[in-house]
Chains A and B, each alone.
Chain A
């Protein structure tokens, strides 16, 4: 199975800050990389696919980049509603696997 490793495991930032989360795959996955946001007690919400394509309705302050083994999710100007845990997930090979998550807290 492909292992996905995220860093940091948690971060605290202020409203308006630029925030970047990284995700590394244990082998090359091209751009078969998706991002999700999860709030406490809720199901994950789909944000980005193919490493950099924004799902319809997702605010443009979210962006993704990367290919091969190294990826990142950036929030250009953190908003209060952006708190939660973010997960990367590879769709390159079955079984699809997730990172362990990055918890974003608002200062």
Chain B
């Protein structure tokens, strides 16, 4: 059974960097059959995919255009986890942040496992 455990601060000051980590158990961050993603949820934006990382011979990272200039996702194979960094945050970045695994079956893919969520508030 795959489990994702999130950690990181719930309060970030404006213009600072939001950092979250997602620890994986029951699967590998280097899996050839999964990707590892960050998704956030807010009343104004709903559920919004932010970034994903996956390994097939080499590492690939994908980012949402809306945050591409200030976001980074990084896998850590030594700890079997991946992290999110979002720079220059504003109150609009206030949201519940989730990590999620993208799995596939029969050529169709979906977010099948999710972390518990972290409410991140951007405020001074």
- A residues near B (Cβ < 8 Å) are 31-32, 34, 36, 42-46, 49-50, 53, 55, 87, 89, 91, 94-101
Contacts and interface: CB of A to CB of B under 8 A. Distances in A.
Given A43-B115, A43-B117, A87 B110 contact: no
B55 interface: no
Given A43-B98, A44-B114, A91 B108 contact: yes
B97 to A, nearest CB: 11
Given A94-B62, A95-B64, A46 B112 contact: yes
A99 B46 CA distance: 8
User: Which secondary structure dominates chain A's binding surface?
Assistant: loop
Contacts of A94: 62
Given A43-B98, A43-B116, A55-B112, A50 B106 contact: yes
A43 B114 contact: yes
Given A43-B98, A49-B105, A50-B106, A97 B49 contact: yes
Given A91-B109, A97-B49, 9 more contacts: A42-B116, A43-B100, A44-B114, A49-B109, A50-B108, A55-B110, A89-B111, A98-B48, A100-B46
Nearest to B107: A50
A97 B47 CA distance: 8
A47 to B, nearest CB: 10
A34 B65 CA distance: 22
A11 B114 CA distance: 26
7 contacts: A34-B110, A43-B114, A43-B117, A89-B47, A94-B62, A99-B46, A100-B46
A49 to B, nearest CB: 5
Contacts of A46: 110-113
Nearest to B114: A43
Nearest to B64: A95
Nearest to A96: B49
A98 B47 contact: yes
A99 to B, nearest CB: 8
A34 B47 CA distance: 14
Contacts of B109: 49, 91
A98 B46 contact: yes
